[in-house]
Every structure is written in C-alpha cells, then in structure tokens.
Amino acid sequence: MNVEKFRKIFTGLEERFGYHIIDYESASEEKKSGVSRTSDYPHTLQMWQAHLRGEKFDVLVKGRTIKADSLGLCPIINKQNKCWWGAIDLDNYKPDIKELFKKLKSINVPFIPFRSKSGGIHLYIFVTEAVSALLMREKLHSIKHIFGVEKPDRIFPVQKYLDLDKGSAGSWINMPYHNCKNTERYMIKEDGSKATLEEFFEAYEKKKITPGQLKKLSCELENDWFKDGPPCLQTLASFGIEKGDRSEVLLEMTRYLKLRFPDEWENKVSLYNTKFFEPKGTGLSYKEVQSTIGSRNKKDYSYRCDSAHLSKFCNKGQCILRKYGVKSIKGLRNAALGPLSYIRSTPRQWFLGFDGDEVKLNSKELTNQQLAREAATEQRGKTPPKMKQADWDAAIIELQERATGEDAPEESNPMFKLKEIMKNFCFKSRRSEDRAQIDRKPFVDTKKKMVHFTFDTLFTHLVDEKKWKFSEENTHLFLKKMGGVTREKLHIQGNVKRNVYSVSKDNFEDEPLVPEKVEFSNEREDSF
C-alpha cells in the first residue's frame, strides 16, 4: 500500500479536507448514510493512511476530538486555482456497467471509473501538469451530458476559483479506496470487477493526459442520423432509447426531422422509430407513430428542453450552434455564430463569426451579448438577432473550446511598447541630477548608475505625449511584471521620502521581455 503515491495522485487543497462519519446503524448495502463535514485545518499523511487502511482517524472539532471514517478532498490547489484531476459524479446507485463502458469507448475520453461511497459512479480524469480549475470544469461540463448529468455541482472541481481568506473552502469529493483491502470504493474494470490499488496505479499511468491533450478533448458523437441536431437526441440515439421514453422522445425527433427534411419528414419518422429504440426494431406501433405525426401536424411544438427525457442529456452551448438546434425555434436561425478565433495580445483580441461576417471584439464584448451586437452593428452595418444571455454564454463557452489562436506581433504587446517608451524617458530625454526635481523629470543617480522616477511623472508623459490607453492600475501591473524595474523609497531631502520606480540602464535594456498574461483590473482598455 503506497500511501504517498496515492496522496500525490490526488493532490488537491492542502488547507482543508472533508470527512465522513458513517451511521453504521442505518447504513444499507445500497447507500452508506452518515454525516459529512469540512475541517478548518490541513489534512495529514496519517489521515490518508487511516483512510486506505479503513481505520478511524482523529478530527479536531471546536476543541474536542471526534473519530472520522473516511477522507474527502477538494481538487483545487488554493491560491493557484489549479487542479491535477477532475471528476463527474454520476448520481445513479445502480449503474449499468456494460452501458457505461460502451459510452466511455464511444467518446474516447480517458476516464477512470470508480464505484463511489454511495454505490454510484465517479468518473475521474488526471493530468500530468496542473491546469486551471476553469479549464477542467469547462471540459467536464462539455462531456457530462453524454452520461445524463444535469446538475453542474456534479462536476468536480465545483468552483472555478477559491479564496480561503474569504471563507471559500471549496466543495470536496470522497476519496476512493477507503479500506483498500476490502474496499467498496474501487476502480471498476470493464467486466465490472474490482481493481486493486496497484491496478489503479497502472491505469493512472496509462490514462493520465497532458494539459494540451485536455484542451483538445471533445465528445462529438459520430451519429449522422442527427447531424446538426440537438445533442440530447444524438446522445439518446447513439446508445438506444428505453421503452418508457419512446413516445416522448419520438415527438422531439419529429421536430428535428421536420426542420431537416421538410418534404419527407413523415416518412423519416417511421424510419427513425425502428432505428433507435431498444431492443432494435421494437419501436412504437403504427397507430402510435401516426398519432405522433398527427400531433406534430396539428401544432408544431418547440423542443421541450426542460423535459425529463431530454434535460439531463442537454448541451445547450453545442445545441445553439447547430443548424437544427434550439435556435431554429427561437427566431435565431439567422444568428449563426462562429467560428471564433483570437490573437494572444494584451488585452486579447477576439474575432467572432456573425452570420458569415467576422466581428472584432474585446473580452468584455465577447462575454456580453448586448455589447457584441452593438459591435457587429457598428462594424458590419447589421444587428444580429437577440438570444437569452444564458444561451449566449453557453454558445461562447462551446466556441472557445474550438477557437483557434495565434501569437500577436511583439510590437503589439503593451509591455513591449511601454518598455520602448521608458528607454527614451529614462535614458534619452531631459533628466535631472537634482533629486528634488523628481516630481517633474527622472532623477539620475550617477554614483549608483540608477534612474529614478515617480509613477505620476511617467503616466503623465504616457497619456499626454504617447496617447496611452491603459489605466493607472494596469500600468502599475505592467511595471511590476517588467524585468529590470524595481520599487523603492527614495530619500529626497530632510525627512522627505518618495515612492519611486528605479531602473539600471544595463539591467533594463538587457532584460528580456517576457510577454506574461496580465490580469486587468477593468475593461476600458482596447488594443493599440
């Protein structure tokens, strides 16, 4: 039992942990009940050892010690907001293992399935290097509909960001392999049998992927029968539709067929009825099919996205972008979005397709539909139809997963531009050897071979003479990230000291410029 290796694989939040106390009197074979709580201090190696051994461990709660049964962990590394793994919690206490592995093979995503504490399934994915919690969550969100997961809190990490200082301890998930020798929380083999801890270690080495591979993950099902249609119908058709869902699902199918095959949709209904219902060829009766067709002829219903048969397989972001998806029934047929591309500038520049036209947007405009529509109107002379902001958000997330990008020219980087301005400002323009003049011009310390200047003096020069478009706060951020620039207090005279920036000509000019990502404090800036 390699405790250290197990703990390293499940690296997560160090400062907090979750724990579960089993109610042995009411615990059943189907669902182990009890109490789950969150600690307010770090977990220890001894706790991990106890978890794997199936032994109780001490937890300090309000000055007294209690006994806990098992360990839980939030995947997010605090401060960094990154994670080494993610998981989808399938809320199903009696999973069909054969169906599960059928789906896993069809989407070609390197999930490792585990039996959970509650008897359901946890699907884990592991990466070789920590990635942002935002990326992990968005990727798992784009896949969850394949497994009929509707609730967003079934995706771990649940949060995109953590701030322990503000009380955000993060949501945690119960760790597998509790009492590993006789565990009920194990990696599931394809035949449904229990994998040992060592077998899990082997699977982990084979299944873990790089951050680049994670970014490229997609779960487009190869099902031409619902090409350009709602992903929920495509998912249902790919894996078979059970008897109790047939009439409701067929009604939704007729909506798609009527859009895609307006002249022959009625014949297509009969074909689809025999194609996708399980067991094969056992669809609705002729009378039921004709009744469904008649119902659709009588009233052309919209897709019922909130239907219990469809909602859990919903991928709205993808659906909106499809020709015969939900936009087709909301007056949005001409609001075709995509593709999306970007330039890695600071700030980032986005290029979004609007019904065949390309519109240039900043990040705030991209995420705000109204601003994007205004930009399209200004640049292309036509205003795209409006959709719900929630639908817009879903579509943009989906497009970002597919977006292509290219590096910006070095000269377009604001830090590059600022550095070039500062070379002239500090070393070539009028300077003073009198430190008392520092509020008006850079001060040259000839003994230390340093140039000092106040931020206000530089910023005034930037705005008045260089048409600088960035805020004071963001300019401070650029200077902070720029090599060869330091902050210090400069003695002026008497007891007077000033906060200044200082540079050395040799160090400053020789320092390579690394175009780091800068987190902007606001969105008023535009590109140069």
- List of residues 6+ apart from 358 with CB closer than 8 A: 351, 352
Task: Check: CB of residue 442 under 8 Å from CB of residue 503.
Answer: no
> Residue 25: its pLDDT value, please?
53
Place 220 in a pLDDT band, splitting at 50, 70 and 90: low
> Residue 49: its pLDDT value, please?
96
pTM over 0.95: no
Pair of tokens at residue 44: 């220890």
Would the pLDDT of 503 be above 50?
yes
> Residue 515: its pLDDT value, please?
36
Backbone region of residue 264 per phi and psi (left: phi > 0; alpha: psi in -120 to 50; beta: other values): alpha
What distance in Å separates the CA atoms of residue 125 and residue 37, rounded to the nearest whole number?
25
The mean per-residue pLDDT over the stretch 81-110 comes to 85
Nearest to 335 by CA among 284, 293, 376, 379: 376
Question: For residue 339, which amino acid is it?
Answer: P
Listing DSSP states for 466-502 in one string gives: H---S-HHHHHHHHHHSTTEEEEEEEEETTEEEEEEE
Class of 3-216 in CATH: alpha beta
The mean per-residue pLDDT over the stretch 193-202 comes to 96
- List of residues 6+ apart from 510 with CB closer than 8 A: 484
- The 3-state DSSP class for residue 126 equals strand
Listing DSSP states for 338-353 in one string gives: EEEEEEE-SS-EEEEE
- List of residues 6+ apart from 454 with CB closer than 8 A: 438, 439, 498, 499, 500, 501
The least confident of 409-413, 437-441, 511-515 is 511-515
Would the pLDDT of 187 be above 50?
yes
More confident residue, 59 or 27: 59
Pair of tokens at residue 38: 């969150």
- The 3-state DSSP class for residue 37 equals strand
What distance in Å separates the CA atoms of residue 360 and residue 348, rounded to the nearest whole number?
11
- The 3-state DSSP class for residue 64 equals strand
- Which residues pair with residue 121 across a beta bridge? 90, 115
What distance in Å separates the CA atoms of residue 277 and residue 273, rounded to the nearest whole number?
7
Q: For all residues of the chain together, what is the average pLDDT?
A: 82
What letter would DSSP give residue 272? H
User: C-alpha angle with apex 26: 25 to 32, nearest 5 degrees?
Assistant: 110
Chain segment 360-404, per-residue pLDDT in tens: 999 899 989 999 999 989 988 888 878 778 778 878 877 876 677
Place 185 in a pLDDT band, splitting at 50, 70 and 90: very high
What distance in Å separates the CA atoms of residue 229 and residue 222, rounded to the nearest whole number?
12
> Residue 8: its pLDDT value, please?
96
The least confident of 114-118, 255-259, 430-434 is 430-434
**Domains of the chain, residue spans:** 3-216, 224-313, 330-407, 412-510
Nearest to 479 by CA among 497, 499, 502: 502
What's the burial of 292, exposed, middle or buried (CB within 10 Å: 0-12/13-18/19+)?
buried
Would the pLDDT of 522 be above 60?
no
Task: Check: CB of residue 172 under 8 Å from CB of residue 17.
Answer: yes
What distance in Å separates the CA atoms of residue 388 and residue 326, rounded to the nearest whole number?
12
Would the pLDDT of 410 be above 60?
no
> Residue 332: its pLDDT value, please?
40
Nearest to 261 by CA among 285, 232, 296, 288: 296
Residue tagged 């095959």 (tokens): 261
> Residue 523: its pLDDT value, please?
36
Would the pLDDT of 31 be above 70?
no
- Which residues pair with residue 34 across a beta bridge? 22
Roughly what angle, to the nearest 10 degrees, separates helices 265-275 and 286-298? 140
pLDDT above 90 as % of the chain: 29
Bond preceding residue 347 cis, omega within 30 of 0 = yes
What's the burial of 520, exposed, middle or buried (CB within 10 Å: 0-12/13-18/19+)?
middle
